[in-house]
Amino acid sequence: MVFVGLDLENKMMMAPSGASGSGSGESAGGRGFRWTDLFGSSSPGNSEASLNQPAPDCPNPGEPASPIAEVYHPLQEEGQRRRELSDRLSINTIKRPLPEDIYEAIIETQFQTELKIEEVLRSDRVQEDSILEKRHQIRGVLFYPQGRAFSLDTYFDHLKQIENQGTHRSLPYKRLMDEISKEKLELAFDGIKKGETGRAHLCQQHSPFYLS
């Protein structure tokens, strides 16, 4: 009997009161003490899952980082450019006013086209001051080569050429290069003496995708 009592006492010392799920602590209405109250769950599966799970904002391992698109910074502020395009269109349609929705659509198409042309001219080493100085003449070549406005469909087709074929291969850009080669439009290129930019071979030299 003595040994039985000692054995029971040792078991009580090894486990805190209420540790058993069916102990009197829980049955009395209170939750019994658990080791997880101090140290959390000791399940190896849960710990391993939490360690191996990547953070929500972390890139997937092994996947290449997405390239960062280079942002183009235009030479003109957007509002000023749109006002100038609008003023020019109103002058060139004064005898045949356009419906408002067609008018606004043409301005938007011209705006997008001009940005693409401007960006390529700069990449072809045309000086920025020269582009700004001759911008009204450039617009005449791009948008009013016959002295009047094209239809919305024509402007839209030109923009689609730029998007699908590339600016250098588009009709508006080639029309601009023709004017330079005929010395009707003079733009200053970096590294080229003034008066030489009107030669056709310089157009091809600075625009390798130019097709005659």
Residues 129-161: pLDDT tens digits?
Answer: 999 999 999 999 999 999 899 999 999 999 999
Q: Which residue has the tokens 């391992």?
A: 61
| pTM beyond 0.75 | no
Of 18-22, 89-93, 142-146, the least confident: 18-22
- pLDDT band at residue 70 under the 50/70/90 scheme: confident
Q: Are 175 and 121 in contact (CB under 8 A)?
A: no
Residue 80 has pLDDT above 90, yes or no: yes
- Give the three-class secondary structure for 126: strand
